[in-house]
Structure 1
Amino acid sequence: PVGFSLGLVWTPCVGPIMASVISLALTESLDGGAVLITLAYAMGTAIPMFLIMLTGRTLLNRVPFLVKNTGKIQKVFGVLMIVVGIAIALNWDRQVQTALLRIFPKYGTGLTATENIDIVQNALARRESKSDGSTGAEGQTATGKNMRSFSYANQPRKGKLGDYGKAPEIVTQGTWLNTEGPVSMEDLKGKVVLIDFWTYSCINCIRTIPYLESWYDKYKDEGFVIIGVHTPEFEFEKNENNVVQAMKDLGVDWPVVLDNDYSQWRAYSNHYWPAHYFIDVQGNIRYYQFGEGNYETAEDVIRALLKEGGKEVQKTKTEKERKIEAKTSETYLGFSRGTEFISEVTMVKDQALDYIPAENLKNGNWTLDGTWTVTRDYIVPEDNGSLLLRFNAKNVYLVLEPEEAGGSITVAMDGENIQNTRDVVNGTLIPDKSRLYELIDLPKAGSHVLTLKINGRFRLFAFTFG
């Protein structure tokens, strides 16, 4: 019962309010209101735990059997804690979570449903807009009527069109690329619009681009427009030159606006990379979906909206979806979001330290050898160092930023040289840009140990897998 209760307490961490707390931190929006929100969230988790403690004491005092057998009960729970610890170490907990989500796909949605109602979403939008003082095209603050005029209630499924209200105005003041000057929602009236929230080093976003490109080529002459909103996850993604180069490399030739201050992200109360919002010719949001996949459904939505707008479009075959075989989760390396780090030496924040690598890595574990500095968002070696990571996947990618030119990274798997990828040649990676690099490309997924030997100053942000 206690575990179940704690599960109920912590499940809301996936909700919009927690996302807003994180968003305030990411955008460095710190004021009295931000402190109060974070404090309120902390109290919201602490109070149920306190009540559980009081209830437990009362129950013990009223049930003689429990008092008489307290020692035995403690031993039983001690054994259970050891078993749970072993399960976590062996990653059995992830398998249980996956199984539960397969059986109960809507588990937890009811617990966060309150956070998705319009009154709460509007309050979050007002709070977030005040934190950065962002304004709309006509001087309105981000609380203006166009900012949260749509609703997240009754999330769409299986391509069924709904009516989620007016799409927010494009309020970000960032630079526009692939178009002459800013574009407004008024300019887009009469067209079917796909708003694509993305960032160029996100592998999930990158994998959607071939589908976006296909849809854009097929339907742009029929009145279909893609507006890419580039909201950066890492600091180097705010650099306009980096984004321009990435768009060229990835083949992004539709309009993109830079959303470095997250104003457009907050206008939509968005929480995901990638996120797609489908807007009809009247400027209303009719469908939305998050993450990868469901490409055939998305294309059906585009055709349906074009047909509503008076266009006759023929159904064509959607590109086959790429199967994701990874059993290792995205792994951040900075201390703010870093997980699965193990070492013979305790991690120290923002200081250079000699690390001793751990042995017997489990899936997702990573360890360091040599002198490294672990910062909030990335790790960086003192000229030379090694990183080991155990993964279970077909593809491995690394987001990194060179601090200086001329360095290189030797890439090995299970102690042997790897096959060439689009970025690694003869076992060597020579990073020259701040972006995502492909390290491993295997015929099929499997469990392996990746070893990186680094020569030079590189900021390593995160591993992703496919």
Structure 2
Amino acid sequence: MSRYRWALTGLAALALGAVVLTVLARTTPPSAATGRGNAALIPTDQRMNAAEFTGLDGWLNSQPLTVNGLRSKVVLVDFWTFSCVNCVRTIPHLQHLQQTYAGRGLVIVGMHSPEFDFEKQRANVAAAVQRFGVTWPVALDSAMSTWNAYGNQYWPAEYLIDQSGRVAYMHFGEGEYDVTESAIAALLGINSSPTPVAATPDVSSQTPELYAGSVRGQLADGESYGATGQPTTYPDPGPPRDADKILVTGRWADQGEYLVAASPGYVRLSFSARDVYLVAGQNGQTAHVTVTVDGAAIPASQRGPDLTASGLDVTGQQLYHLLQNQGGNRRVIDLTVPDGFRLYTFTFG
């Protein structure tokens, strides 16, 4: 099944009817109301039972939970995965909901449905949960069983379940956090003024997420992938001619989900965005990566929190925030990488 990471909530509106139909197995999907509070909720007579949590590999921060066992509570099911930057940017808003409503009848369930194989490992998810400050229950949906039971297609995705176990509200992608909060407050019978949030930035002109491996990727300048697992030599043509495609030089082996360097080499990309994130890893070692933009060192004000003046230390397979405050102009990022470096995706914000 195709999977998508959406930062644009406008796309969710187009898919809403189909998703509701798939999730709730009803021939006529309920209409999705607009507005806040009760107006943001699916009308009571159109709500249907939420799918039960199924096929899970375990839980973090909690004993096993069930939808049926959480009746009388308002439950927010957050589908996420720890290498998804859109999911990570949602976490502070979930922390606010946890702090504000957990003692008043809200239960958040983080449904960790992985995109990459390394996200299926319990230890990796546990480390991410600690790193990001996730304190609510997290279910390990490594086989995507609950994802499929809900017919979900998006990271992040929010399903709000009422006290009778019925889906009362859905939201896909980032943004509209105040609408989600007002829906929660309405189900809890609380008069509240949701915390105002900044509008989700328009990212229509920025570089889309780029995958490195052959399963979903495409290399720049007409280069082709070699046979799976077999190192292929890529010459160094200088700056990439193609925009928004990954250029590699040196020897690289395609592993489907990712490319792995079989020798020291380079990764270059012509991008347009304010922030640049990298999903990367290294087998059991720390990989030091040198990073430049437009052939120059990166000023401190433009370095992401994971980047230092000397470069990036890749200590595990995870999401790294490389650049910020880029202004959205087209630039070229250049990574000098060691043998064994694994490149999964570039994402942007």
Q: TM-score, normalised by structure 1?
A: 0.66
Which of the residues 285, 293, 307 maps onto 1:424? Answer: 307
- Tell whether 2:270 aligns with 1:387: no
Larger radius of gyration: 1
1:463 is aligned to 2:346: yes
Q: CA deviation at 1:178?
A: 0.7
**Contact 2:267 2:334 (8 Å CA) reproduced:** yes
Q: Compare the two structures and name the one with the higher helix fraction.
A: 1
**Matches of 1:117 and 1:314 in 2, distance apart?**
28
Q: How do 1:40-55 and structure 2 match up within 5 A?
A: none
Which residue does the alignment assign to 2:224? 346
Q: Distance in 2 between matches of 1:237 and 1:383?
A: 26
Is 1:197 matched with 2:79? Answer: yes
RMSD value, Cα: 2.8
Give, in whole Å, the separation in 2 of the partners of 1:107 and 1:154: 11
1:236 aligns with one of 108, 115, 118 = 118
Counterpart residue number, 1:334:
213
Given the alignment of the two structures, is residue 178 of structure 1 paired with residue 57 of structure 2, yes or no?
no
Match of residue 167, structure 1, among 20, 39, 50: 50
Whole-Å separation in 1 of the counterparts to 2:323 and 2:118: 23
- Cα distance in 2 for partners of 1:429, 1:269 equals 38
1:264 corresponds in structure 2 to: 146
Local SS of the residue matching 2:52: coil
- SS of 2:323's partner is strand
How far apart, CA to CA, are the structure 2 residues paired with 1:166 and 1:355?
53
SS in 2 for 1:165: coil
Cross-structure match for 1:377? 257
Q: 1:63-114 CA distances to partner (integer Å, 9 max, x unpaired)?
A: xxxxxxxxxxxxxxxxxxxxxxxxxxxxxxxxxxx9xxx9xx89977xx97x
* SS in structure 1 of the partner of residue 273 of structure 2: strand
In 1, distance between residues paired with 2:207 and 2:173? 17
Aligned with 1:223 (options 101, 105, 117): 105
* Residue of structure 2 equivalent to 1:13: none
Q: Indicate how the Cα distance of structure 1 residues 278 and 296 shifts in structure 2: closer, same or farther if over 3 A, else same.
A: same
1:99-118 alignment to 2 at 5 Å? 118=21
Does structure 2 retain, via aligned residues, the 8 Å contact 1:211–1:319?
no
Going from structure 1 to structure 2, the CA distance change for 1:271 and 1:345 (only over 3 Å counts) comes to: closer
Equivalence map 1:54-133=2 (5 Å): 118=21, 121=22
Task: Please identify which structure carries the higher strand content.
Answer: 2
Partner of 1:297: 179
Note the C-alpha offset of 1:218. 0.6
Partner of 1:35: none
Letter aligned with residue 196 of structure 2: T
Post-superposition CA distance 1:327-370 (Å, at most 9, x none) = 1000011101003x224653323221110244553431221111
> Which residue number in structure 2 is paired with residue 212 of structure 1?
94
Aligned residues: 334
Partner of 1:46: none
Question: Which structure would you say has the larger RCO, counting Cα contacts within 8 Å and 6 or more residues apart?
Answer: 2
Distance 1:161 1:457 in 2: 49
Q: CA deviation at 1:223?
A: 0.5
| C-alpha contact 2:220 2:242 (8 A) present in aligned 1 | no
Are 1:446 and 2:329 matched, yes or no?
yes
Q: For residues 185-235 of structure 1, give each alpha carbon's deviation from its aligned partner in whole angstroms, at most 9, with x where no partner exists.
A: 222111111000000010010011111110110111110110010000000
Distance 1:331 1:158, change over 3 A: farther
Consecutive unaligned residues of structure 2, counting only runs of 5 or more, are none
TM-score relative to the length of structure 2 = 0.87
